[in-house]
Amino acid sequence: MTKCKYEYKHAEKKKCPHEALDGKDICYWHEERTDKNPFEEIGTKDLRNLDLVEANLQGAHLMGAHLQGAHLAFSNLQEANLLGANLQRANLWRANLQRAYLIGANLQRASLEGANLHGTDLHEAKFDDSSLWRAELDEIVIGEMFGDKEKDIETKLMEFEEASEIYHNLKNYFRNEGIYERSGNYYYREKVVERKIYKQKNKGKYLGSLLLDLLCGYGEKPGRIIISSLSWIFLNSIMYFILGIEKGVVEVGLSLQAGFCENAINFLDCLYFSFVTFTTLGYGDLHPVAITKAFAAVEAFTGAFMLALFVLTMGRKMMR
């Protein structure tokens, strides 16, 4: 038997340790063929510690395979079926796992640095103590995308719940690794999926979750509080301008008899009043009258709440 003469692309001096196929100068693992089934073609599920660097396993059937400690760096595992496979301590450095099925796979202590995991199904996968440094992960996992497209409510909820579990696991992984920015991103996606579940089950919680997202992105997007606060201040200033406030004994507001410049000055006064009301400063030079008292009371209450929310969100981000 002759040795495989595969020429490595990422390790020029490396020699393949496997035997070449009969009548070929390439081994089974480097053969350019999709949908391989080593269980039937080789007759074993035990692939532990095997040297599979740059192996071509695109679409391979590896369900339940024993791949503990296998060397799969730079391997092509696109669309491979790794359902329930054991990949503990496996080296998957820069492996291509696009759209692979890793449902229930054991990836504990596996090395996934730089691996391409776009479109990979990670439902119930275990990756405790694994390394995902620079791994290419989807911001939105496939389960959430399927759930958005699904019309059957039960199937939709199942997809969302699976996506929520994946986000939860990724959030915890990156938090434990001290990569707080990515942990925060997956926490945000987890809350978004939770809101989508509420939409089908509890409209009240759905609306509350939607409001929290719009206000601050569940505490992960403090910039949204600034935008929503400025928008609320501006909206209230329009109401004050239309309904009128007072500056001493002089009414300030929209006047059809006044010119553009005077109305513009009045609007700026209303904008200023809205700002000091929102921040609860209340200098007293301008004050509401009639119905605008109700608007001012609501704005002062919401302003105090939103300022506290901003401090809490920024504090949470800074503490990381």
Range of lowest pLDDT (48-62, 169-183, 229-243): 169-183
Give the whole-number percent of the chain exceeding pLDDT 70.
100
Domains of the chain: 38-216 (2.160.20), 223-319 (1.10.287.70)
Please report how the helices 292-319 and 203-216 are oriented relative to each other, as an axis angle in degrees rounded to 10. 70
> What mean pLDDT do residues 261-282 have?
90
Q: What is the 3-state secondary structure (H, E, C) of 121-147?
A: ECCCCECCCCECCCCECCCCCHHHHHH
Q: 113-148: per-residue pLDDT in tens?
A: 999 999 998 988 988 889 888 899 988 888 898 899
Q: 192-206: per-residue pLDDT in tens?
A: 999 999 999 999 999
> What mean pLDDT do residues 212-232 have?
91
Q: 51-93: per-residue pLDDT in tens?
A: 999 999 999 999 999 999 999 999 999 999 999 999 999 999 9
The single-letter code of the amino acid at 134 is: R
* The pLDDT value given to residue 246: 86
pTM higher than the cut 0.85: no
> What mean pLDDT do residues 21-29 have?
94
Task: Identify the band that residue 35 occupies on the pLDDT scale cut at 50, 70 and 90.
Answer: very high
Q: 284-293: per-residue pLDDT in tens?
A: 788 888 888 9
* The pLDDT value given to residue 256: 79
> What mean pLDDT do residues 159-176 have?
91
CA atoms within 13 A on the CB side of 199: 13
Q: 1-20: per-residue pLDDT in tens?
A: 799 999 999 987 899 999 99
Contacts of 155 (CB under 8 A, 6+ apart): none
Q: What 3-state DSSP class applies to 20?
A: strand
Residue 105 clears pLDDT 80, i.e. is over it: yes
> What mean pLDDT do residues 202-220 have?
92
Among candidates 163, 102, 162, which has minimal Cα distance to 127?
A: 102
Residue 320 clears pLDDT 70, i.e. is over it: no
The CA-based angle 261-267-270, given to 5 degrees, is 150
